[in-house]
């Protein structure tokens, strides 16, 4: 049996959202965005840090390979002025994020030090690890404001 309501023939049901419902949805979206965006920014900084660490390891491997073949280190694999590594190594580091350099002259484990200095151009200087260094003994360290930072190389 079909029920027919003959009392309210002319009434129409509204379809859509009210202004209050729309404002509540926007407020919820704003709160979620405010929570998620800093996490996203941290992830971006961390991914660029991982990229420069990988490039530092490539540079070290190239240095050691050259030493094995010729008996001396080739420090020209990094252009200390431009902050870039040799293109044949396949480095992925963006120079607006990090500038690479090599210092040499010490002895032992610190015979050379590969350094990645964060740049402020794209905000990499906000990374918690700061300046990254790796010496000839493959020991990595990180300093921010002259203070050692733990858990950056693992």
Q: What is the pLDDT of residues 11-59, one digit of tens each?
A: 666 677 889 999 999 999 999 999 999 999 999 999 999 999 999 999 9
Tally of CA atoms within 13 A in the half-sphere of 56 that contains its CB? 29
Q: What is the pTM of this model?
A: 0.80
Residue 19, SS3 per DSSP? helix
pLDDT in tens, 68-106: 999 999 999 999 999 999 888 889 889 999 999 999 987
Question: Are the C-beta atoms of 103 and 89 separated by less than 8 Å?
Answer: no
- 75 in Cβ contact with 115 (< 8 Å): no
Q: What one-character-per-residue DSSP string does 36-98 give?
A: HHHHHHHHHHHHHHHHHHHHHHHHHHHHHHHHHHHSS--GGGEETTTTEE-GGGT----TTTE
b/e map 76-105, b = 16+ CB within 10 Å: ebbeeeebbbeeeeebebeeebbbbbbeee
Q: Which DSSP letter does residue 125 get?
A: G
Q: Roughly how many angstroms between the first and final C-alpha of the chain, as a whole number?
A: 72
Virtual torsion, Cα 56, 61, 65, 67, nearest 10 deg: 50
Better-scored residue on pLDDT, 107 or 40: 40
């Amino acid at each position: 049996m079909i029920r027919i309501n003959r009392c309210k023939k002319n009434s129409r049901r509204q379809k859509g959202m009210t202004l209050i419902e729309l404002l509540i949805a926007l407020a919820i979206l704003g709160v979620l965005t405010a929570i998620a965006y800093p996490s996203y920014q941290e992830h971006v900084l961390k991914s660029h840090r991982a990229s420069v660490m990988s490039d530092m390891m490539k540079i070290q491997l190239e240095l050691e390979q050259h030493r094995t073949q010729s008996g001396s280190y080739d420090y020209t694999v990094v252009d200390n002025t431009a902050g870039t590594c040799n293109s044949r190594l396949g480095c992925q580091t963006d120079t607006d994020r990090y500038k690479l350099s090599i210092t040499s002259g010490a002895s032992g484990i610190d015979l050379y030090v590969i350094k990645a200095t964060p740049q402020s151009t794209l905000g990499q200087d906000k990374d918690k690890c700061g300046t990254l260094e790796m010496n000839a003994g493959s020991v990595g360290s990180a300093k921010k404001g002259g203070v050692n930072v733990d858990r950056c190389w693992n």
